[in-house]
Homo-oligomer: A and B are copies of this chain.
Amino acid sequence: MERSSTTPGGSARREATRQKLYEAAVTLIAEQGFSATTVDEIAERAGVAKGTVYYNFASKSVLFEELLRHGVGLLTASLREAAEKTAGEGGSRVDALDAMIRAGLVFIDRYPAFTQLYVAELWRTNRAWQSTLMVVRQQAVAVVEGVLREGVANGEFSEEIDVPLTAAALVGMVLVAALDWKSFQPERSLDDVHAALSRLLQGRVSGR
């Protein structure tokens, strides 16, 4: 009997094949895009028969959709943790933003293929997983927006900032810088990249 593919309660075996399929799919789709990646390729790279893909996921789209949910979930948790940690330590909201930048970089460092694929899909319209994507995106961005709002509330940030737009800009800054890092100067250290972005965040670009 088939089981709903929305995760929980699967056997350990099943969960393991799912994981293998995610890993295979993420790199292939990051490189080639969703439509150019065949189910046969995914199965082959995962070391599994094609039928197994369909035993575990209702369709190619569903596999992809769950992959998105899974990945963005990890990112959101990581951002939230970074924000809460600095709050617990009594750090300023700028410190929280800085910690989140680092968390973002760590994530992208660990899952570059996922990040790539996420960016490639995010602003597309009319795709099957569009609504799923909106939901998870909003969860992640909301963490950044939350910190900005706290900063405005306690006077640390100007009341004139546009919270959603500034959040998007900050995310973009980290995203694009990190993807360029991974693509074009992968030998650089995370600390190095983090330092450059910190500087930009704190307006220590102009002046000396």
Contact = CB atoms under 8 A, between A and B. Distances in A.
A206 B166 contact: no
B176 A168 contact: yes
Interface string A4-33: 000000000000000000000000001111
Interface stretch (A51-59, A63-71, A123-131): A123-131
B172 A177 contact: yes
A75 to B, nearest CB: 15
A165 B177 contact: yes
Contact of A179 (B123, B156, B208): B123
Interface of A: 30-36, 94, 116, 119-127, 151, 155-162, 164-166, 168-177, 179-181, 183-185, 192-193, 196-197, 199-200, 202-208
Given A120-B120, A157-B206, A158-B208, 18 more contacts: A33-B34, A33-B120, A116-B123, A119-B120, A119-B123, A123-B179, A125-B183, A157-B205, A162-B196, A164-B180, A164-B185, A165-B177, A165-B197, A166-B196, A166-B200, A169-B200, A172-B175, A203-B203
Contacts of A174: 169, 172
Contacts of A185: 164-165
Contact of A181 (B124, B165, B173): B165
B166 A171 contact: no
A79 to B, nearest CB: 16
Contacts of A203: 202-206
Q: Which of A31, A120, A192 has the most CB of B within 10 A?
A: A120
A205 B123 contact: no
B155 A168 contact: no
Contacts of A121: 120
